[in-house]
Amino acid sequence: MNLLWVVLLPLIGTLVPLFTERFGRNICTLSVALLPAWSLILVLMYAVDIFDGQAIRQTIEWIPAIGLDLSFRLDGLSLLFLLLILGIGLLVILYARYYLSAKDSMGHFYAYLILFMSAMVGIVISNNLIQLWMFWELTSISSFLLISFWSHKSEARKGARMALTVTGAGGLALLAGLLLIGNMVDSYDLDTVLASGDLIRSHAAYPVALVLVLLGAFTKSAQFPFHFWLPHAMSAPTPVSAYLHSATMVKAGIFLMARFYPALAGTDLWFMIVSLTGLITLLIGAYVALFKHDLKGLLAYSTISHLGLITLLLGLNSDLAAVAAVFHIINHAIFKASLFMAAGIIDHESGSRDMRKLNGLMKYMPYTATLAIVAALSMAGVPLLNGFLSKEMFFAETLNQSTLGSLSWMIPLLATVGAAFSVAYSLRFIHDVFFNGEPIDLPKTPKEPPRYMKVPVEILVGLCLLVGIFPAYVVGDLLHVASSAVLTHDVPVHSLAIWHGFNIPLFMSFLAMVGGATIYYNRRHLFQFQSQFDEPDAKHIFEGVVQSIVNASERIISALENGSLQRYIFLLLLFTLVMAGLPLLDLVQNTGSRPQIPLDGVTVTGAVLLVLSAIATVIWYRRRFLALIFLSVVGLMVSLIFAKFSAPDLALTQLSVEIVTIILLLLALFFLPQSTQKESTNRRLSGDLLISGLLGCVIGTICFAMLTTPLDTISDFFLANSKTGGGGTNVVNVILVDFRGFDTLGEITVLGIAALGIFKLIAKMRIYMPVRDDDGRAWSNDPHPMMLEMVSQSLLPLAILVSVYIFLRGHNVPGGGFIAGLITAVAIIQQYIAHGVQWIKPRIKIDYQWLIAGGILIATTTGLGSWIFDKPFLSTWFDHFNLPWIGEFELASAMLFDLGVYLTVVGSVMLILANLGKLTTSERFEMKEND
Amino acid sequence: MQHLAIFPILLPMLAAVFMLLPPLSNSITRQRIFAVSIMLLLVTVSALLLLTSHQQGTQLYILGGWQPPFGITLVGDRLSTMMVLLTSVLGLCAQLYACAGEDKDGMYFHPLFMFQIMGVNGAFLTGDIFNLFVFFEVLLIASYALLIHGGGKQKTKMNVHYVILNLVGSSIFLFALGILYGTIGSLNIADMANKIRFLDEHEQALAKAGGLLLLVVFGLKAALLPLHFWLPKTYAAASAPVAALFAIMTKVGVYSILRVHTTIFGEDAGALASIAIPWLWPLALLTLTMGAIGVLASPSLRLTAANLVIVSVGTLMLAIAMQRESATSAALYYMMHTTLVTGALFLIADLISKQRGKAEDRYVIARKMRYGKFIGIAFFIAALTSVGMPPLSGFVGKILILQATQGLAETAWVWAVVLLAGLASMVAISRAGTTIFWRAAGENTNNEKISPLKIIAVVLLLSASPLLVVFGGAVTDYTNLAAAQLHNSVPTVTALLPGGNE
């Protein structure tokens, strides 16, 4: 047998109702109960060992990297909780069978409920901190689903969200706390942690870890000031409330404190935080409960109050108090579950939960009423019922502490006050609902519920009595093993007798009874007093807080992310400036040791022209045509610079790219206004000027420093190996098609994609076509002058010839596929310009898209060819041949690659320009999408 | 398979090319069948490459037979092959989703999509920094084209921003490369890592500027504050399969920072060691904070998803800033998880959008959804995962990152910001979910069925989340080894340079 099954069975059971829902309510309920019941039987079989004082463990390695193992441990405390979770869980399943209406989806309900049950089971048998946290969060998630079960109701959604947020936030704090503890003891194993209490308590980070863990516990257990979510979780169906707020969800926080009691408790800090929080919660809960007109509201605040009581006990740092806490966990679970169920029955059978309307139900449902009255008396702490016993122990413990120094006497006093209110609201529950005259306009006439709906309540109330009368026989052993698991040492001697003689605790009980009765009797004055205060609705406050956070976030986002490209570019450049500029502060001198070439007139003139035309482009950027002319000057100067500094390939490329770009821009200008309005303010302009100026200075400095620094690079290898290894004397070309042919393959792909992308964009465009220019002149009537037609037609073969020549010589002297492709493309475009689309269409039937694809395909296939020779992709081959009349010539695979480049370039340029050009003609409407 | 390492690049590239040619180019059906088969093949090949690299050591592919540092080398180590597999899986799902009909909203969807995959895979696999630039260009230009897929004013406007910003980014990339080549004298990343220690002071200052400029470039791609502002609206405007695929794009930036600033400017770089780290700390924290604020402020699920991308970038950057093996391993785990779930979230947002009429995916009251149950479950899983709630992958990633801070001075900052960002996401997503799924008015009249392809895509992506937890042990073992490989750069670098010069 296997501990894993204890949690696995209910977990599998989560899916059962989804499949059995269709077979009717009874079968569904039965099938749902099956697996948890099996799990309960497993637990009971282990119980024998536990009562012998053993703890059962099992570990399966899971994710060692985060210290997460599937690790289980069944000891007395786990056993107690498992009995509560599975036992009360089974009763709730039965109860819900009768509670849910036909409209509710039973399958979903049970699925969520069982998921929740599995999560709770997981928490209490975890022997690993991370695993514990995992199940802990799972309870938050599944309780979210349960609370929001009636999701069409606004209050259910809000209540669920509030519970999720509060417990989720606590869960995150808990995670941090657990990780901290894990760091301290260097293990996430619970056994190790619990055995290292002294190490943890003396660790410097102990206060932080303690606070974080307690945040988790307090949020879950609805301790002040996090208690506000619990009453709003009452919008859940009553079976859920009966389960979550008696035995499970809220008890998870209590369990956590009890579980970590050996590791964290025993310090003054623990006492201060835990006991005071518990005390305040106890008082507030008890006080507010009295004023709730909603049955479930009363029970919700009473739950808060009792949780406070248990917390207070755990905080007292005394062994007996811990025993009392464990005892009260049992008692509270039993009587509170039965009370919620009774409230649900009343709601179900009378249609209301309002105590101002519900009166005199004793007459209509005497049996249920009796059960509820017994449970309520137990809640009030009346003798012979289980609530009395733990309350006596509680009173005794409040007397036995002195940590608050001379103020310690206040704790028993306040405890008695709390207990008095507890008696008062219990009395109200009994008197208002079951007596106190006749019901006031209820939606339906109350009657007894179906037979089996009462069974769970009967069992629980029976337990109240049994425990109350024969405590030692019924729960003595269980309490003993559970307490010893909390204390990890011998449990102090305690007596579970009903009668301890006349002592102070009994007197306190008596005071509480009398006080409670007095309060209830004078409730009208108290209600009047209370009604002068506005009752704050936590839901609205919470939603308000969240909404204001959201609003603040929206303001921040809309202020920062304002959709202004100028701003984003400004930030990008600013960041660039800082990143490039700061390192330069360490650059002692910006001139390197490399000898400088003397200046000459031509160079200076060229540089000045370059600078001026660049500046002119910026100055006249709003007059687009003018700016374009200046821009072309910039391009021209750059190509000249390339030519001067011995880079003829680059110069040629730059020149042809320049031509193609200018044509492209001219085409684009046709669709744009010739000049634009001034859109930037002077302030923005000066800012932009500043940043671009600074950035220019920084980049300029870097350039100068770089150019004057002697350089040792891998370029020398290329120079040395170009001819011997690549078969060409034009190193630039050999680099492009051989050494770094892969880059080139990538770049022609980029070109091809760019063309496809632009075509994709303009194919969808339906842009306004201007008929006349800004000055009102119509476009020329004669778009294709004869001179131009004649000249360009005769130029075409010449241009093709030139590109073939440039292509062929590329490997050894400046040239190559890229430049050749651009030249061909320009020649073809010229035909478009001269003759128009109509004329070209029947003459050039090439699909440019195929040209692009074919080009890339040829280049890639060339690269793949080397695989035949068992060489890596793009390995080149070349050899020299001799043919008669032609002489010696060289054949290289690189030429085939270059052919691919050529085709891609022609295809890409043509696809863009021809189609952009077509937009200006009537042809544009014929462009269809190919699919 | 000696050529295995280049397959993730060549396969999508050739696929794209064939889809531009007949008989594929003129039939969308044929393209779909072809593209999906290719992607399935790619997933297989990527998995094979990962296994080979994992078991037999780093797979080097020396293009053209030119030994490093002279030629271009592809490096299939544990990190890069993992990223390639991630891309392939995400790509497959996004593509399946697109095949349900969105690929018809514009031209060339499938070829461009393949080119995009090629670019991303190339960026991951290359061991050469200029080649990295080339693949950045490939993936960028393909993303420009994919972003306008579907057309419309919003997409075009966002695309203009995206293109211009990235063009500036590309120029800065070139500046940086020029500076680095001009000082270090090499382009092979391993060779650069080897040589950077021997720079003199003059060159050091310049190389530092170059290295930090690379941080700008990669930061722009990764959406690191203050360079992230473009991302939310751009991603939200993209069509769903494109947005889903773009979940990997920010990771390219993250990956590049990891690669360059761990290998070249890593701990062994002498005076230039860890130059980016002092910047990464505050920027990562701020990115994460801004992302969380963005999540809170998002009025629609797409924007939420986009802001979650920023949250994930911030988290990843934090892990990188820690500059230690455990943190890198955490980052790698988190990267897998976040990429797939964000992809899923974009797809789910689209499913929701199509069911709610004019309300689309905005958080307003709207008609009930016809397929609310399936979409609801999918959303629930995606939400839990992205918020970092157990038992799904988010919590493992979060815990890994929190644990990695042990002993660092910045621990408190990291914990506070990471946990609070998680809380903010939880608040925002629970609001989103309850509004979308539960605040309904009126019945749905829309009878359109959800295509099974879309369902498969979403289910596939979401299944990663529980799988990453169930097999968490094996996955973290792998990421540990991958991180170790990245950080112990000395053996790696030596392995990369057979007979390389000093």
Could you read off the pLDDT of A55-84 as tens digits, one per residue?
888 888 898 888 888 999 999 999 999 999
Can you tell me the distance from the alpha carbon of B364 to that of B381, in angstroms, rounded to the nearest whole number? 22
Chain A CB contacts of B497 under 8 Å are: none
- A723-778 pLDDT per residue, tens: 887 777 888 888 888 888 899 999 999 999 999 998 888 877 777 777 777 677 77
Q: Nearest residue on chain B to A546, judged by CA atoms?
A: B427
pLDDT at residue number B500: 41
Q: Which two tokens stand for residue B429?
A: 């997503």
Determine the Cα angle at B253 with ends B144 and A749, to 5°: 40
**Testing the interface with A: which of B158, B430, B481 to mutate, by most A Cβ within 10 A?**
B430
- B431-442 pLDDT per residue, tens: 999 988 888 877
Domain limit, last residue, from A248, A264, A280? A264
Chain A residues 380-409 with CB within 8 Å of chain B: none
Chain B residues 25-44 with CB within 8 Å of chain A: 25-28, 31
> Does some domain include residue A758?
yes
Q: Which two tokens stand for residue A34?
A: 């099956």
> Does some domain include residue A332?
yes
Instruction: Check if the interface score ipTM surpasses 0.90.
Output: yes
Do both A333 and A257 map to the same domain?
no
Would you say residue A885 has pLDDT above 80? Answer: no
> Does some domain include residue A269?
no
Chain A CB contacts of B185 under 8 Å are: 711-714
Tell me which residue range forms the domain holding A797. Answer: 729-931
Classify residue A710 as exposed, middle or buried by CB count within 10 Å of its CB (0-12, 13-18, 19+): exposed
> Does some domain include residue A906?
yes
Query: Are A128 and B383 in contact, with CB atoms under 8 Å apart?
Result: no
pLDDT at residue number A845: 78
User: Which residues, 6+ apart, have CB-to-CB distance to A729 below 8 Å?
Assistant: A722, A723, A811, A812, A813
Chain B within 8 Å of A204 (Cβ-Cβ)? no
Chain B within 8 Å of A809 (Cβ-Cβ)? no
Min Cα separation A608/chain B (Å) = 23
Can you tell me the distance from the alpha carbon of A363 to that of A268, in angstroms, rounded to the nearest whole number? 53
CB contact (8 A) between residue A871 and residue B65: yes
CB contact (8 A) between residue A561 and residue B229: yes
Question: How crowded is the C-beta side of A556, counted as CA atoms within 13 Å?
Answer: 16
Can you tell me the distance from the alpha carbon of A666 to that of A515, in angstroms, rounded to the nearest whole number? 95
Cα distances (angstroms) measured from residue B140 to each of A631, B6, B180, B309: 25, 20, 22, 18
Classify residue B484 as exposed, middle or buried by CB count within 10 Å of its CB (0-12, 13-18, 19+): middle
Chain A CB contacts of B473 under 8 Å are: 61-65
User: Which residues, 6+ apart, have CB-to-CB distance to A551 below 8 Å?
Assistant: none
Q: Nearest residue on chain B to A558, judged by CA atoms?
A: B297
Q: Helices A893-918 and A741-763, interaxial angle, to 10°?
A: 20
Domain limit, last residue, from A521, A550, A572? A521
> Does some domain include residue A597?
no
Chain B residues 255-284 with CB within 8 Å of chain A: 279
Reported pTM: 0.93
> Does some domain include residue A694?
no
- B436-490 pLDDT per residue, tens: 888 887 777 666 788 999 999 999 999 999 999 999 999 999 999 999 988 886 6
User: How many of the other CB atoms lie within 10 Å of CB of B347?
Assistant: 27
In eight-state DSSP terms, residue A405 is G
pLDDT band at B87; cut points 50, 70, 90:
very high
> Does some domain include residue B101?
yes
pLDDT at residue number B491: 61
Query: Are B413 and B285 in contact, with CB atoms under 8 Å apart?
Result: yes
Q: What is the CA radius of gyration of chain B?
A: 22
Tell me, what amino acid is at A827? A
Can you tell me the distance from the alpha carbon of A569 to that of B162, in angstroms, rounded to the nearest whole number? 11
Would you say residue A113 has pLDDT above 90? Answer: yes
Do both A257 and A358 map to the same domain?
no
Chain A residues 749-768 with CB within 8 Å of chain B: 749-750, 753-754, 756-757, 759-761, 763-764
Chain A residues 33-72 with CB within 8 Å of chain B: 61-68
Determine the Cα angle at B474 with ends B472 and B478, to 5°: 110
User: How many of the other CB atoms lie within 10 Å of CB of B385?
Assistant: 28
> Does some domain include residue B502?
no
CB contact (8 A) between residue B185 and residue A589: no
Query: Are A852 and A911 in contact, with CB atoms under 8 Å apart?
Result: yes
Across all residues in chain A, what is the average pLDDT?
A: 87
Chain B within 8 Å of A545 (Cβ-Cβ)? no
Min Cα separation B132/chain A (Å) = 9
Q: Helices A366-380 and A386-399, interaxial angle, to 10°?
A: 10
Cα distances (angstroms) measured from residue B148 to each of A485, B237, B251: 64, 9, 21
- B241-285 pLDDT per residue, tens: 999 999 999 999 999 999 999 888 888 888 888 888 999 999 999
Task: Give the lowest-confidence range in A13-17, A237-241, A583-587.
Answer: A583-587
A480-484: Cβ within 8 A, 24+ apart:
A480/A76, A481/A50, A481/A51, A481/A53, A481/A75, A481/A76, A481/A79, A481/A80, A482/A76, A482/A77, A482/A79, A482/A80, A482/A326, A483/A76, A483/A322, A483/A323, A483/A326, A484/A53, A484/A76
Chain A within 8 Å of B1 (Cβ-Cβ)? no
Q: Is the peptide bond before A536 cis (omega within 30 degrees of 0)?
A: no
- For chains A and B, CB pairs below 8 A equal 339
Chain A within 8 Å of B15 (Cβ-Cβ)? no
Tell me which residue range forms the domain holding B283. Answer: 4-496
Do both A855 and A741 map to the same domain?
yes
Do both A252 and A354 map to the same domain?
no
Min Cα separation A706/chain B (Å) = 6
Can you tell me the distance from the alpha carbon of A246 to that of B501, in angstroms, rounded to the nearest whole number? 74
Can you tell me the distance from the alpha carbon of A287 to that of A109, in angstroms, rounded to the nearest whole number? 33
Chain A residues 438-467 with CB within 8 Å of chain B: none
Chain B within 8 Å of A573 (Cβ-Cβ)? yes
Nearest to A696 by CA among A571, A611, A624, A638: A611
Q: How many domains does chain A have?
A: 3
Do both A401 and A495 map to the same domain?
yes
Do both A746 and A813 map to the same domain?
yes
In eight-state DSSP terms, residue B270 is G
pLDDT at residue number B105: 85
pLDDT band at B495; cut points 50, 70, 90:
low
pLDDT at residue number A790: 84
> Does some domain include residue A701?
no
Q: Span A95-117, mean pLDDT?
A: 90
CB contact (8 A) between residue B229 and residue A560: yes
Do both A354 and A444 map to the same domain?
yes
Nearest to B235 by CA among B155, B297, B315, B117: B155
Can you tell me the distance from the alpha carbon of A491 to that of A325, in angstroms, rounded to the nearest whole number? 13
Nearest to A574 by CA among B197, B149, B219: B219
CB contact (8 A) between residue A753 and residue B141: yes
Q: Which of B69, B138, B148 sits opposite A714 (nearest CB)?
A: B69
Chain B within 8 Å of A711 (Cβ-Cβ)? yes
Q: Which two tokens stand for residue B347?
A: 């797809």
pLDDT band at A532; cut points 50, 70, 90:
confident
Q: Span B160-179, mean pLDDT?
A: 93
How long is chain B? Answer: 502
Q: Which of A165, A558, A750 sits opposite B427 (nearest CB)?
A: A165
Q: Nearest residue on chain A to B430, judged by CA atoms?
A: A161
Q: Which two tokens stand for residue A362?
A: 């004793």
**Testing the interface with A: which of B31, B63, B114, B180 to mutate, by most A Cβ within 10 A?**
B63
> Does some domain include residue B501?
no
Do both A327 and A200 map to the same domain?
no
Do both A45 and A167 map to the same domain?
yes
CB contact (8 A) between residue A713 and residue B18: no
Q: Which two tokens stand for residue A72?
A: 């289980």
- A226-254 as b/e, with b when 16 or more CB fall inside 10 Å? bbbbbbbbbbbbbbbbbbbbbbbbbbbbb
In eight-state DSSP terms, residue A351 is S
Query: Are A549 and A450 in contact, with CB atoms under 8 Å apart?
Result: no
User: Which residues, 6+ apart, have CB-to-CB distance to A14 below 8 Å?
Assistant: A111, A114, A115, A118
Would you say residue A171 has pLDDT above 50? Answer: yes
pLDDT at residue number A1: 53
Q: Nearest residue on chain A to B150, judged by CA atoms?
A: A764
Chain B residues 202-221 with CB within 8 Å of chain A: 202-206, 208-209, 212-213, 215-216, 219-220
Task: Please give the helix or strand (H or E) that residue B120 lies within, else none.
Answer: helix B109-125
Chain B CB contacts of A165 under 8 Å are: 423, 426-427, 430
Would you say residue A49 has pLDDT above 50? Answer: yes
Domain limit, last residue, from A243, A264, A285? A264
Q: Which two tokens stand for residue A895?
A: 């030429």
CB contact (8 A) between residue B229 and residue A567: yes
pLDDT band at A407; cut points 50, 70, 90:
confident
Q: Which of A179, A702, A750 sits opposite B137 (nearest CB)?
A: A750
Please give the full DSSP string across A110-129, using - where no structure is assigned: HHHHHHHHHHHHHHHHB-BH
Q: Which of B64, B205, B226 sits opposite A586 (nearest CB)?
A: B205
User: How many of the other CB atoms lie within 10 Å of CB of B492?
Assistant: 19
> Does some domain include residue A615?
no
CB contact (8 A) between residue A756 and residue B111: yes
Can you tell me the distance from the alpha carbon of A480 to that of A390, in angstroms, rounded to the nearest whole number? 14
Q: How many domains does chain B have?
A: 1
Do both A337 and A256 map to the same domain?
no
Chain B CB contacts of A740 under 8 Å are: 71-72, 130-131
Can you tell me the distance from the alpha carbon of B450 to that of A263, in angstroms, rounded to the nearest whole number? 54
Can you tell me the distance from the alpha carbon of A176 to that of A845, in angstroms, rounded to the nearest whole number? 69
CB contact (8 A) between residue A742 and residue B63: yes
**Testing the interface with A: which of B18, B20, B180, B417 to mutate, by most A Cβ within 10 A?**
B20
Task: Map residue A732 onto helix, strand or coil.
Answer: helix
Would you say residue A930 has pLDDT above 50? Answer: no
